[in-house]
Structure formats: C-alpha cells, structure tokens
Chains A and B, each alone.
Chain A
C-alpha cells in the first residue's frame, strides 16, 4: 500500500493568515497516463468529507480560490491563502494511483 504522511497533524491559524499542509507519499503518484492522482478533502466538524482539490491542483466546483494545491511526484502541499472561520476542520490527502489510501488528517483550528 502507498503510505500517505501529512504534516503537521494540527495547525492553529489566525484568521486572514495563510496556512499550509504537507502530504508525502511513499512512492510517486505519477501515473503512466501523465496524471498525478492526489486529492485533498476537508471534513468540517460533524460533517461529511468534501472534495477540495483533485489531481494535485484543480479546485473542485464551488471551492474558493483561496485554496490551492501544488506538488509533484511524492511531495504535495495544500495552501489556504487567507484562512477564514469556515475553514476549520480536518484536511485529508488521498491517493488513488493504487488502491486508495488517506493521510492521517490535519486538524485546522482558528486562534
């Protein structure tokens, strides 16, 4: 199985400030078709997970522009340019190059 490792596991951010979450995979997520199968999800408290970013850097429908994804190979980053109160929750990276696996999650809270 591909192991996904997120850092940090928790993050406390002042509203309006940026935040960054790292996700590293145990092997490259680049497929032979040229796509990289890395996704980001947010699970707000008490809610269902929601897709934020697919294939490393494409925002899903309705996701605010303050969310961006980047990276390649085995190293990926989710950035929030200016954190808002509604961004509180647990963020997960997920790979689907092989049978899907999730990172442990990064809990984001507001200072």
Chain B
C-alpha cells in the first residue's frame, strides 16, 4: 500500500532552517510527483510547491520562492523540503503528498515545525 512517512517534529529559532523528509513506499516513486502543503495552527491548507520525482522539475508558490527548496532522492525514494529564514508564522504542520493526475491522493502524517525564540 502507498505510504508516505515523514520525519519527526522540529523546534527551530527564528532565522534558522528546517529540513523535512518524506519516505515513500508501496508505489513506483519515479512515476509520480510530490507536493508540499502546510497548515498553520487552526488554519486552512496552503500549497507550497511540487516536485517531479521523475526529472526533478519543480513549481513553487510565489510566496515561498527563494527560501524554499524541494528535492528528491530516487535511490531512497525520499522527498525533502527545506525552508530557510524561518519566522514565527512558519509554525505549522507540513505535509507531503503524492501527486497523481494533479491530485494529492496520498498524504504523509505531517511534521510539526515550531519556530520560537
């Protein structure tokens, strides 16, 4: 079965960076993309970006351009996201999701990133 297992919760200081991993299993990793979506406490869903596991092509939400990077490692079927220059309003649960036919059909369990001094 399709599974996306994310790395554990992180606590970071303002200005720091965070890197979250998303280990995929149960499907052919190279044939799908991965999107990253975040959810601030008590708020809705916010799409951050998408990466193709096939060729590494990316699309980023303009809001995160310049401080957000997505990568994949096909040898370990793992996707990564890194967010830099963290601010308090980056405190959120970050989700990875498999993308098939433009739909986020399977989601990771989420990773809470807390930014606090």
Mark A residues whose CB is within 8 Å of B. Answer: 1, 37, 39, 41, 43, 48-51, 54-55, 60, 90, 92, 94, 96, 99-105
Contacts and interface: CB of A to CB of B under 8 A. Distances in A.
A48 B35 CA distance: 14
Interface residues of B, number: 22
A101 B47 contact: yes
Contact of A48 (B44, B47, B95): B95
B104 interface: yes
B29 to A, nearest CB: 19
B46 A39 contact: no
Nearest to B110: A48
24 contacts: A1-B62, A39-B103, A41-B45, A43-B45, A48-B108, A48-B109, A49-B37, A49-B45, A49-B95, A49-B107, A51-B103, A51-B104, A51-B106, A60-B105, A94-B47, A94-B104, A96-B102, A96-B103, A99-B47, A99-B61, A100-B35, A100-B50, A101-B47, A102-B44
